[in-house]
């Protein structure tokens, strides 16, 4: 047996222990290293602009000028004091409400109704509904602009004449402009949401339904007690993405059809950020408006998620 000198033995053990610690450290860091590129990307392109937006909101700054003047909360106070801003908030909420109907309730209802159709009919139905999703938004919007031409031969006026509702000046009318813009935006994504809803319905295990049938459940009871709870995760997903995207998906229709008019009647928080930032070049006002947008709708999304998540059945 070779005797290892005491000190040498200690050194070797210490080296081994150091190597072990190094390996353990590396092992514990490995997930973070894998995540680092994504974190870096999100940090640079999401969190940094977010923090910078908050910072700019405390300044008065024309984007084209070097001069930035610290104004504290003045930009926020100006917003709160501005009647137009409150009108924009109300309109943003209206857009959300209409999007909930157009992008959640209607596609989900259509998905359930399509179960009554034969497979071939469903294919045709799906294609028809999905078509707007794959066409460029600007093209679709221009078609709708022609649809609502405020003339006697305008398509909408022609269709509505038998009901005595023709001669509308649709896009310059304060009562009709916002619903029309919202309709166009929702119509564009409705097909996509329909497909998600249909996939969610079809993913409900048949044996659950058969078991329920066997127990005598049918009709409304089957829908309410079995189908809807199992469909809830998909429904919640649709609701959350609708909430997140509602103001964004209406941006191009607003831009092309009304530019926020008539007299701000179709403006919303997101479009207002664009107008303030890139039409009026008031970076401070735009940033303050953006911060309000994030807080208001981010908070709303979290609240909605928590509220609904408690009622959602994930276990299948």
Binding footprint of other proteins on the chain (CB under 8 A):
62-65, 145-146, 149-153, 167, 169, 171-174, 259, 261-265, 275, 278-282
Shorter beta-carbon distance to other proteins: residue 182 or 267 = 267
Cβ-based burial of 152 (10 A; exposed 0-12, middle 13-18, buried ≥19): exposed
CB of 260 to other proteins, least distance (A): 9
Shorter beta-carbon distance to other proteins: residue 192 or 271 = 271
Shorter beta-carbon distance to other proteins: residue 100 or 169 = 169
145 in Cβ contact with 171 (< 8 Å):
yes
62 in Cβ contact with 209 (< 8 Å):
no
CB of 102 to other proteins, least distance (A): 24
HSE, side-chain direction, 13 A CA sphere, residue 161: 10
CB of 167 to other proteins, least distance (A): 8
Instruction: Report the C-alpha gap between 71 and 82 in whole angstroms.
Output: 17
Shorter beta-carbon distance to other proteins: residue 55 or 167 = 167
CB of 171 to other proteins, least distance (A): 7
Cβ-based burial of 179 (10 A; exposed 0-12, middle 13-18, buried ≥19): middle
CB of 51 to other proteins, least distance (A): 21
* β-sheet bridge partners, residue 60: 69
CB of 168 to other proteins, least distance (A): 10
Instruction: Report the C-alpha gap between 237 and 203 in whole angstroms.
Output: 15
Instruction: Report the C-alpha gap between 91 and 251 in whole angstroms.
Output: 13
Shorter beta-carbon distance to other proteins: residue 193 or 282 = 282
Instruction: Report the C-alpha gap between 297 and 209 in whole angstroms.
Output: 37
Shorter beta-carbon distance to other proteins: residue 92 or 266 = 266
């Amino acid at each position: 047996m070779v005797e290892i000198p005491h000190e040498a033995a200690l050194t070797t053990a210490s080296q081994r222990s150091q190597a072990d610690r190094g390996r353990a450290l590396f092992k514990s860091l490995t997930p973070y290293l894998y995540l680092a590129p994504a974190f870096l990307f999100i940090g640079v392109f999401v969190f940094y602009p977010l923090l910078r937006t908050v910072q700019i909101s405390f300044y008065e700054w024309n984007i084209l000028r070097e001069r930035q003047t610290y104004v504290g909360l003045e930009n926020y106070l100006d917003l709160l004091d501005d009647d137009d801003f409150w009108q924009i908030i109300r309109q943003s909420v209206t857009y959300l409400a209409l999007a909930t109907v157009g992008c959640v309730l209607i596609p989900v209802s259509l998905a359930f109704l399509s179960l009554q159709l034969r497979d071939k009919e469903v294919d045709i139905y799906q294609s028809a509904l999905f078509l707007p999703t794959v066409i460029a938004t600007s093209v679709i919007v221009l078609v709708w602009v022609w649809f609502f031409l405020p003339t006697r031969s305008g398509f909408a006026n022609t269709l509505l004449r038998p009901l005595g509702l023709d001669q509308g000046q649709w896009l310059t009318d304060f009562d009709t402009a916002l619903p029309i813009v919202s309709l166009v935006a929702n119509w564009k994504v409705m097909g996509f949401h329909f497909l998600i809803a249909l996939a969610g319905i079809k993913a409900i295990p048949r044996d659950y339904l058969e078991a329920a049938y066997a127990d005598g459940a049918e009709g409304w009871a089957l829908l309410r007690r079995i189908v809807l709870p199992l469909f809830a995760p998909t429904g919640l997903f649709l609701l959350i993405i609708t909430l997140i995207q509602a103001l964004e998906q209406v941006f191009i229709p607003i831009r092309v059809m009304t530019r926020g008019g008539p007299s701000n009647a179709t403006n919303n928080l997101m479009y207002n950020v664009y107008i303030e930032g890139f039409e009026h070049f008031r970076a401070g006002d735009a940033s303050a408006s953006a911060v309000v947008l994030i807080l208001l709708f981010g908070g709303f999304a979290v609240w909605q998620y928590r509220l609904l998540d408690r009622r959602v059945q994930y276990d299948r």
